[in-house]
Amino acid sequence: MTDDDPQTADRIRPAVELNNAFVALASSMRRRVLLGVLERSPREERTLSEELAAGRDVERNRVRAQLRHVHLPKLVVTGYVEWNESTGEITRGPAFDELVPLLRVLDGHAEHLPGAWP
């Protein structure tokens, strides 16, 4: 088999998608964003920032800067969320539904996970 072989591409694609899911879930802030969007879409960036800051006892402006410059761009690239930078609206992206089963399993078994969830 070569890299151009469709069978190879079919086997690589699910692994890449699963890796994207784990990268997206690697940050507790991104997990909270994804769970927030799962709960309700669309979400407002400002409101979400306030919720995240209150949950972590961190200044809202710092959380919002992290969202804008780190976490939301990563989630947009994976297709899990869409984000309108002008309005601050965050919605489910085209790949969000692929992540839902994993989010629900992890959230439903939070007490069995190492560390803190989300």
In this structure, whether the domain defined by 7-101 belongs to CATH 1.10.10 is answered with yes
pTM of the model: 0.82
**Domain residue limits, the chain:** 7-101
Q: For residue 60, what pLDDT is reported?
A: 83
pLDDT digits (tens, 9 = 90+) for 54-82: 867 678 889 999 999 999 999 999 999 99
Which residue in 98, 108, 90, 94 sits closest to 29, CA to CA? Answer: 90
Q: Which residues have C-beta within 8 Å of that of residue 91, sequence separation ≥ 6?
A: 37, 41, 42, 43, 81, 82, 83
| Residues listed for the chain | 118
pLDDT digits (tens, 9 = 90+) for 22-34: 999 999 999 999 9
